[in-house]
Chains A and B, each alone.
Chain A
Amino acid sequence: MIIIIGAGPAGLAAAEAASRSGAEVALIDSASKKGGQYWRHRNSVKGYKSDRADQLFSKIESASSVTHISDATVWSIETQGGLYRVNYLQGGQESSLTAEKLIIATGAYDRSLPFPGWDLPGSMTPGAAQSLLKGHDLLPGKRIIVAGTGPFLLPVATGLAESGAEIVGLYEANNPLRWLLSVHALLLNPSKFLELVYYAKLLRRSKIAPRFNQSVTRFSDGLATISGVNSRLQIGKKKSQTLSADVVAVGWGFLPDLTLGGIVGCAQKVDSDGTTIFEVDDQQRSSVRNIWIAGEATGIGGADLSLIEGEIAGLSATGQSIRSTLRLNRIRKQIFANALKRSYPVKDGWQSWLEENTTVCRCEEVKMSEICESVTELGAEDSRTAKLFTRAGMGLCQGRVCSRNVSEIVAGLTHCPITDGERIALSNRPIASPISLGLLGDGKK
């Protein structure tokens, strides 16, 4: 049996590919419906359409060898004599499943940067705005500002507008001219160019004029401050403006969730944009025997790349041959993914937005001044020490939101660049999801 963790594009493609061999597949996902964050939908939402999703869903539903285990949060994986025991929580109960092979496809989440007021109600990630809209048929607010960087801001802003929200502004912090560095990537991926044309049309229809080199740098009491930023994301000298908005949806690309692969010891590396990812070979095999990893956890690249990687992982895990067109397509999509990293970099100038009392760690309510103090007064020389002094990154989210930001702040204060070892250490967490000791005790009886 093969256990696939994650039922987004990569996990679904892996399950479908593996099922072609007749192998028994268990597809575990924390949501109640298949599709992951990318293909999230309620049946009642109008306009939902994705041929690729529909095809994959119907193939998987008709494959009798695939079992979908929904609403199941994997909290740990144990190795037992060459087998993997996947422990998960489902409906308040602890259960487990054991298999010889694992495919990890746990996806990614929005990267957030702190700014004064980012912790107040009304400030959220673009992913949260999207999930409320697509998953719950709910507009997160009436007057919304979408900001940050990356192409994901486009579907979020246009989706909200099409559903009736007033988009007060769409602010892309980077300059679109950066794409001139990656013309080859667009030529190799004409479908992406068509996608851009599609969103340009939607923006025009909704009367949204995107602004560049600007971002939300403060939010409070329904007012957002929009400041010009330079190519390093430092606040410029030009006067900022204040706009009224009940929601600011600000996101800075994505961070992969590396927790589960980290638990079983899959080797990691640092990507060109500083993101920690898993090392995999050309068949998506991790450094650990019989564990494959596909999708965003092997490098942020979007759904197209995830689908290909998932298919390759599913084929490889079941000993089927991998067509060379599939391999070539992966290279093509990887070139596009690298172009995205070049076009939407998150440079460390964002720290110029922070004020002394800006919250950096949301869980433990650690302020910027406390991080500074840990370096200047207490002598912390790296983010690990700063974390021990301040508790930044030690709350319920286990540093998923702030640890990379804290390490960049500490690097800025100490003038010591972050080492790859430090970046990798930051993404490792012993337990994937909190579990009560009582439940754990009962589950193991």
Chain B
Amino acid sequence: MTNQISFTFNGKEFTCESGQSIAAALIASDNRQLRTTRFENEPRSIFCGIGICFDCVLVVDGVANQRSCLIEAKQGMNVESTP
């Protein structure tokens, strides 16, 4: 039995297995869209999955441009699409 942790994404609470990346945790909860782009407001999600493309960048605990495919979701984390 793995540990469950919870974090917030754009104000909503999400629960996931500890050890999952933020992006994986959100996709697992059927929340595929992670952010919208700054010029055209297009939806974006995970693309390369290994930290190369920077498409999944989110604001994690106030720090912008964090690659959510690499960062492990932690208990109490506050994740947002835009600063």
**Interface residue ranges, A against B (CB under 8 Å):** 30, 32, 37, 42, 44, 109-110, 112, 119-125, 127-132, 135-138, 140, 257, 359, 362-363, 365, 395-397, 400-401, 434
Contacts and interface: CB of A to CB of B under 8 A. Distances in A.
A434 B47 contact: no
A365 B41 CA distance: 10
Interface in B38-57: 38-40, 42-55, 57
A138 B27 contact: yes
Interface string B41-80: 0111111111111110100000001000110100000000
A18 B72 CA distance: 32
A30 B2 contact: no
Given A136-B21, A396-B57, A396-B65, A124 B52 contact: no
Given A109-B52, A122-B32, A362-B55, A128 B47 contact: yes
Contacts of B34: 121
Contact of A365 (B17, B40, B48): B40
B47 A30 contact: no
Contact of B45 (A44, A121, A365, A395): A121
Given A124-B46, A131-B69, A401 B53 contact: yes
Nearest to A124: B47
Contacts of B48: 109-110, 112, 124-125, 127-128, 401
Contacts of A37: 50
Contacts of A120: 42-43, 45
Interface of B: 2, 17, 19-21, 24, 27-28, 32-34, 37-40, 42-55, 57, 65, 69-70, 72
Contacts of A109: 48, 50, 52
B27 A400 contact: no
Contact of A138 (B28, B44, B50, B51): B28
A434 B38 CA distance: 19
B38 to A, nearest CB: 8
Contacts of B52: 109, 257, 397, 400-401
A434 B17 CA distance: 28
A138 B24 contact: yes
Nearest to B42: A119
Contact of A132 (B19, B38, B40, B46): B46
B49 A127 contact: yes
Given A138-B27, A362-B55, A128 B65 contact: no
6 tightest A-B CB contacts, nearest first: A128-B49, A121-B45, A136-B24, A396-B54, A131-B49, A121-B32
Nearest to B34: A121
A257 B57 CA distance: 20
Nearest to B54: A396
Contact of B47 (A42, A123, A257, A395): A123
A122 B45 contact: yes
Nearest to A249: B49
Chain B CB within 10 Å — which of A37, A127, A131, A400 has the most?
Answer: A131
B49 A132 contact: yes
Contacts of B40: 365
A108 B28 CA distance: 26
Contacts of B72: 32
B53 A121 contact: no
Contacts of A110: 48
A124 B49 contact: yes
Nearest to A365: B39
16 contacts: A30-B51, A37-B50, A109-B48, A119-B55, A121-B33, A121-B43, A127-B48, A128-B49, A128-B50, A128-B69, A132-B46, A136-B24, A138-B27, A138-B28, A362-B44, A362-B53
Nearest to A433: B51
B64 to A, nearest CB: 10
B74 to A, nearest CB: 12
